[in-house]
Structure 1
């Protein structure tokens, strides 16, 4: 059976509180008593709970992470970056999702009230930013990952969505395209506005004709990409390129173009956004704007650890650059 702190205390002839003080390096225990306790620990093989030791010191050595869902295609990359940094510094991670809406958030709030973690990393579930900001104002260290253009009052990590959209437009111009279509994400996301504006500004500078009727709102799903192509073709407006606001949408665009008899890239070039694993395995392989998701997770974890160690952290977003990754879906005409 597992040896407990009570077993150690009984064999050493002291209280559990005295054992706890020795474990936590307190100097108020008689030297002989402390030595006897250490000998009993060695003899019994007692391993103290890291959480119990941390709580006694006022820290759990645990970070909470709140995300909307684990089904988002890039969430694994972010998590890996977070875990790599936290585990290297001796921290654990408690992961919470909001897949059950209010019920999930209520359970998460109980963990906050119970001080289950020292700080919080967040990929914002819908309509939770005000609540997260309030937690920060009450003293919980928080770092937001992928700020979606909200620029909160607390530290965050973001990427260059506007520059990414601009890079897509310049690439299409360089490959001889003239009439691009755009399939956006949901319009209320700041990242969607940034990608749209960056693309439009660069398209205008490059002399591309961006017809408002060739801009279709999607919802970041493959199905919305397929539906958008149907709308674009039904409009009767000619287009020779599609910039999709994420790779899942772009994969739906590729499939729908193929079904409609449009060749990619000969008739229509296609560009996505994110560079998830799927992008390299579509047919043809997808040109996309890479978001450095793993690096964003690493940066966010690093900012939070600095915060926990008392290092001042700027509320200004920590920005990591996007990169255009050129593949077969957008080769020159």
Structure 2
């Protein structure tokens, strides 16, 4: 059972107002009384509601951030962009993940109800967009990072997934590659469909293997086609992790990269510079996405009108040795 401010007041023999003043460091409570209240707080394990503290101080000066998992390859860069921005503005960051599925969502929802933070940044965990949209309609300021092409009815920061796919295809075509294999991410993500459409617009005669953004999916896709005797002269993987799997499978099969088969990834995470050979890839400006989303949210909390259309940041092809 959750310990309340009333429990602390009863145990310490003071009023709830006195406990609140101690919690909020008002300086209006005498030394012995304040010490007794703090001792009871420690003894009972009382955790004051951040919302209550925020009301006492005007706001919590805290931004919430909800992400699927910290294991996503580019989450760290997005998070760093957010942290750099909110800390410079004098705010703290409260981070939530959805590693435990519904249990994590319930815990997060309870923090929203407690008004533990002033606004929310989201990299959407699967099947939570409706819940987040409902929170926004009830008054929670929200900015979505990487909307995956879903365009919700609240502010978002997105990248040019269609153009990113097209730029990969244009580069492969310009280097004489005409028989590509595309290893997609999960096709229920609109961003995956956008990347595929952009690529198809430039190089329509391609083979498709549906992957899941893992190293294993890139490796298995290439192994399967090689075993079937399929002919392909290039691979476009929908993220750098699956592209690294493709590189591994090609090396194991004795194929040279880029001599026999060129490989292009997507994201330009740190590892892309250190694969063998270094990976040509479509860069998503993920650090800037975090910065931009955080600035948008802070501006909105300061009274600025939130943009009605997604803020779009451009992708960029980065050419390295895997597809020079």
For Structure 1 versus Structure 2, the TM-score category normalised by the shorter chain is 0.7 to 0.9
Q: Distance in 1 between matches of 2:250 and 2:96?
A: 38
Alignment of 1:12-23 (within 5 A): none
Match of 1:255 in 2: 248
Contact 1:168 1:324 in 2 (8 A): yes
Alignment of 1:70-149 (within 5 A): 70-149=70-149
Give the match's secondary structure for 1:270.
strand
Contact 2:84 2:291 in 1 (8 A): yes
Contact 1:180 1:242 in 2 (8 A): yes
Are 1:308 and 2:301 counterparts? Answer: yes
Give the match's secondary structure for 2:322.
helix
Give the match's secondary structure for 1:60.
coil
2:232 aligns with one of 235, 239, 260: 239
Match of 1:28 in 2: none
Unaligned runs of 5+ in 1: 1-14, 25-33, 41-48, 205-209
Residue deviations 1:57-91 (CA, integer Å, cap 9, x gap) = 43100011000000111111000100111011110
Match of 2:280 in 1: 287
TM-score, normalization: structure 1? 0.82
Alpha-carbon shift at residue 262 of structure 1 (Å): 1.0
Alpha-carbon shift at residue 202 of structure 1 (Å): 1.8
Alpha-carbon shift at residue 53 of structure 1 (Å): 6.3
TM-score, normalization: structure 2? 0.84
Match of 2:199 in 1: 199
Q: Distance in 2 between matches of 1:248 and 1:81?
A: 21
Alpha-carbon shift at residue 260 of structure 1 (Å): 1.1
Contact 1:23 1:53 in 2 (8 A): no
Inter-CA distance 269–116: structure 2 relative to 1 (3 Å threshold): same
Contact 2:178 2:203 in 1 (8 A): no
- Give the aligned length: 292
Q: Distance in 1 between matches of 2:18 and 2:105?
A: 36
Residue deviations 1:212-238 (CA, integer Å, cap 9, x gap) = xx2100000000001100222234331
Alignment of 1:39-78 (within 5 A): 54-78=54-78
Give the match's secondary structure for 2:308.
coil
1:226 aligns with one of 219, 222, 232: 219
Alpha-carbon shift at residue 174 of structure 1 (Å): 1.2
Inter-CA distance 186–17: structure 2 relative to 1 (3 Å threshold): closer
Inter-CA distance 228–17: structure 2 relative to 1 (3 Å threshold): closer
Contact 1:84 1:298 in 2 (8 A): yes
Q: Distance in 1 between matches of 2:179 and 2:287?
A: 34
Alpha-carbon shift at residue 17 of structure 1 (Å): 9.8
Where has structure 1 moved over 6 Å in runs of 4 or more?
Answer: 17-20
Alpha-carbon shift at residue 316 of structure 1 (Å): 1.1
Contact 1:265 1:330 in 2 (8 A): yes
Are 1:321 and 2:324 counterparts? Answer: no
Q: Distance in 1 between matches of 2:308 and 2:218?
A: 36
Q: Distance in 1 between matches of 2:298 and 2:275?
A: 38
